[in-house]
Structure 1
Amino acid sequence: MKNSSISRRDFSLLAANVAAMSLLSPLAGRAQGQPAFNLGHFSSANPQTYQKVTGSLAKALAGKATVNFTTMASAPQFMAALAGGSLDSAAIGSSPMVSAFAQGLDISLVYIQKIITTAEALVVRNQSGIKTIPDLAGKKIGVPFNTSAHFALVGAIRKAKLKATDVQLINMKPDSLIATWTRSEIDGAYIWHPFLGQLAAQDGKIVTTTADLKDIGLSVFDGIVVRNEFKKRHPEVLLAYLKSYAATCDQFRNHEDAVVADFAKFLGLPADTTKAYVSTFVTLRPAEVLSADWMGAPGAKDSGVLKSLKSQAEFLVEAKQIERVPSNIESFVDSSFVARMV
């Protein structure tokens, strides 16, 4: 896997520019007679950010709704905003999503934002003595708890026939990992870009990625969720957004150089640095999202997504993050919109 060269300064610049775009958006207000579509997204080089940079979503929703982009840093922030009604839609990881379902948040999964393959990985210090997963026994590994990275790390540990208790798992915020790593207080971390690239560049090496869990049936993903009230009141707005998102993913897939050029100009970063980040974003086409391997057709009871969500729910119960596995997870999965896109 190629290490990202995105530095802490690069990431700070990305976050600052993305946040600034929220203030500069010409559609930050609400057009007369049109609903507002309040979209939450992370400050990374993802399709939602690209829709903001290029104005493509504003164009897709013209005449239907005004779009307001809100940049946030964590899934709990998104979930609180969705619960309070200040956001209509956001992309969050599958593990936080399960927590939201278990808490009874009135939202639905309507699309797969991305599948997590090499964008999240276990990076270890070269002096740690860790060469394979079994070598993690007794080692200190930092990871943000109740995240897709946490779930993947435990999956990798179990795949190696170890117990989670055999490894010293330390709950750490992503931005805290850098300083802790620099002080040699941890042996490794399971984390995502840009932090992954920063740690690998500081005398680290990548041992395994989330993609390596596919052979044991674990699929980890981020999904687009929406408040059910908004979905019911403005279905055509939601459909237009998802179509625009899918078209943007096609640009990432088929015209990466143009996407990199746009992002590099917007972020003020070198093209190779920007490309290192953009290339970690793996998306699905609508027909793939609708397949049994992922969301399945409307009403599906045994799709890949449902299996993954149930598996992650069991993990969260064991980790004491939720009390029980939701008995009706399938009620939170709505593939009717993607079915209209195929």
Structure 2
Amino acid sequence: MSRPLPAPSRRLLLTGALAAAFSTAVTGCSSDSEASAGGGRRLRIGYFAFPSGDLIVKRRKLLEKALPEHDVSWIKFDSGAGVNQAFLGRSLDIAALGSSPFARGISGSSPIPYKVAWILDVAGENEALVARKDTGVTGVAGLKGRTVATPFASTSHYSLLAALERAGLRASDVKLVDLQPQAILAAWQRGDIDAAYVWLPTLDELRKDGTQLASSKEIGAAGRPTLDLAVVSDDLIARDPQVIDTWRKVQAEALRLLKSDPDGAVRDVAAELNIPATDARAQLDQGVFLTPEQVASADWLGTDGTPGRLLSYVTDTGRFLAGQRQIDAAPSPDAVRKAFYLKGLPDVLK
């Protein structure tokens, strides 16, 4: 796919990629969906195997302890594409989701029925663009004509497009390949790709014999930040909004534990990712984790009735994706505003 596709064809391509990701991610989860339809007490949580407070909540069973009457199921996803498809299929209640796939999800005439309710982390050095050392490429501009992999419809995909633009390249100047993190690692080891934009822990494997060309930290500082958000289904908002308050409380506790009990947080993340504690510590150090108070501040998510700067970040992301022909049209500022669920903030954090 070395040349830009017309918008309808690109949309069909992305739709197929999303469907494939969804099929892989939720295999075997249909029983969860069916069970929840009748009882309303099942909570289906989508998460990533990515260093964050989410893994602390999962490992310590903070949500299960806070909601003993609920049957909590944690479903792992590889990227935001699968999360979006799962929400379309009403197979999730709450999930982690990157800001770029979120902007995609709320675009168009039939937006995905969910809303952002929390910020898990801000992308830093934990997402980056790396080139194989044997290519001799030392700058983003050197990728012209090269094969570059990233998971389409992800924050890494968005950041890759932004990095190419900053270097004076168009997407059509490189051969973009849609691969999930594990597939990226395999393609890298075979020598099938020249570079990749991806996140931890796959990113650290690429760094071992690669040259980092850009990171989401520097791209964010240049005006295109990406974040990992927590989104909640419209069904859950209507059915049981108190659960969302509880979810925020345990996520806030996890953010505080990252600072007050860093050793314990490292042990939790290491256990969840099945990696040594030294690796878990190094990976956590590459992320940017806000305090709960910062999450609910005007600089980020905001409060009930007063959205924060995340509103403009998501709006700008949608405009950029539309300009890159990744979506048909950017979501309007009003559509973005309606996709925020801020009820209860900041009181729920007290």
Residue 76 of structure 1 corresponds to which residue in structure 2? 81
Work out the CA distance in 1 between the residues paired with 2:271 and 2:119.
28
Amino acid at match of 1:168: K
User: What is the aligned-residue RMSD (CA, Å)?
Assistant: 2.7
Work out the CA distance in 2 between the residues paired with 1:330 and 1:213.
24
Runs of 4+ in 1 over 4 A off after TM superposition: 265-268
Contact kept? 2:80, 2:153, Cα under 8 Å: no
Q: CA deviation at 1:51?
A: 1.9
Work out the CA distance in 1 between the residues paired with 2:322 and 2:84.
19
Identity %: 29
1:245 to 251, 257, 279: 251
Amino acid at match of 2:301: M
SS in structure 1 of the partner of residue 328 of structure 2: coil
Scaled by the length of structure 2, the TM-score of the pair is 0.80
Residue 230 of structure 1 corresponds to which residue in structure 2? 236
Residue 337 of structure 2 corresponds to which residue in structure 1? 330
SS in structure 1 of the partner of residue 286 of structure 2: coil
User: Does residue 85 of the first structure (1) align with residue 90 of the second (2)?
Assistant: yes
CA displacement, residues 96-146 of structure 1 (integer Å, 9 cap, x when unaligned): 112221241111101111111111001111122222223233332212222
- Structure 1: which 5+ runs fail to align? 1-18, 24-28
Residue 57 of structure 1 corresponds to which residue in structure 2? 63
User: Does residue 140 of the first structure (1) align with residue 109 of the second (2)?
Assistant: no
User: Does residue 119 of the first structure (1) align with residue 122 of the second (2)?
Assistant: no
Q: CA deviation at 1:266?
A: 6.0
Q: CA deviation at 1:221?
A: 0.5
SS in structure 1 of the partner of residue 303 of structure 2: coil
Contact kept? 2:131, 2:195, Cα under 8 Å: yes
SS in structure 1 of the partner of residue 46 of structure 2: strand
Work out the CA distance in 2 between the residues paired with 1:157 and 1:265.
36
Contact kept? 1:146, 1:316, Cα under 8 Å: no
Work out the CA distance in 1 between the residues paired with 2:318 and 2:272.
39
Structure 1 segment 88-237 matched on structure 2, within 5 A? 88-102=93-107, 103-201=110-208, 203-237=209-243
Contact kept? 1:289, 1:338, Cα under 8 Å: no
Contact kept? 2:55, 2:268, Cα under 8 Å: no
Q: CA deviation at 1:238?
A: 0.9
Of 97-106 and 107-116, more deviation after overlay is shown by 97-106
Work out the CA distance in 1 between the residues paired with 2:274 and 2:188.
27
- Structure 2: which 5+ runs fail to align? 1-24, 30-34
Q: CA deviation at 1:268?
A: 5.2
CA displacement, residues 157-184 of structure 1 (integer Å, 9 cap, x when unaligned): 2223333333333322322222322232
CA separation of 1:140 and 1:262: change in aligned 2, threshold 3 A? closer
CA separation of 1:86 and 1:137: change in aligned 2, threshold 3 A? closer
Q: CA deviation at 1:92?
A: 0.7
Work out the CA distance in 1 between the residues paired with 2:233 and 2:222.
32
User: Does residue 321 of the first structure (1) align with residue 321 of the second (2)?
Assistant: no
Amino acid at match of 2:74: F
Contact kept? 1:34, 1:66, Cα under 8 Å: no
Contact kept? 2:52, 2:121, Cα under 8 Å: no
CA displacement, residues 257-315 of structure 1 (integer Å, 9 cap, x when unaligned): 112234445665422123233333432222212223222333346x4212221222123
Residue 15 of structure 1 corresponds to which residue in structure 2? none
Of 42-51 and 95-104, more deviation after overlay is shown by 42-51
Contact kept? 2:49, 2:272, Cα under 8 Å: no
Contact kept? 2:256, 2:292, Cα under 8 Å: no
Of 241-250 and 170-179, more deviation after overlay is shown by 170-179
SS in structure 2 of the partner of residue 69 of structure 1: strand
SS in structure 2 of the partner of residue 337 of structure 1: coil
CA separation of 1:179 and 1:70: change in aligned 2, threshold 3 A? closer
Of 307-316 and 150-159, more deviation after overlay is shown by 307-316
Residue 279 of structure 1 corresponds to which residue in structure 2? 285
Contact kept? 2:54, 2:120, Cα under 8 Å: no
Amino acid at match of 2:225: S
Q: CA deviation at 1:322?
A: 2.3
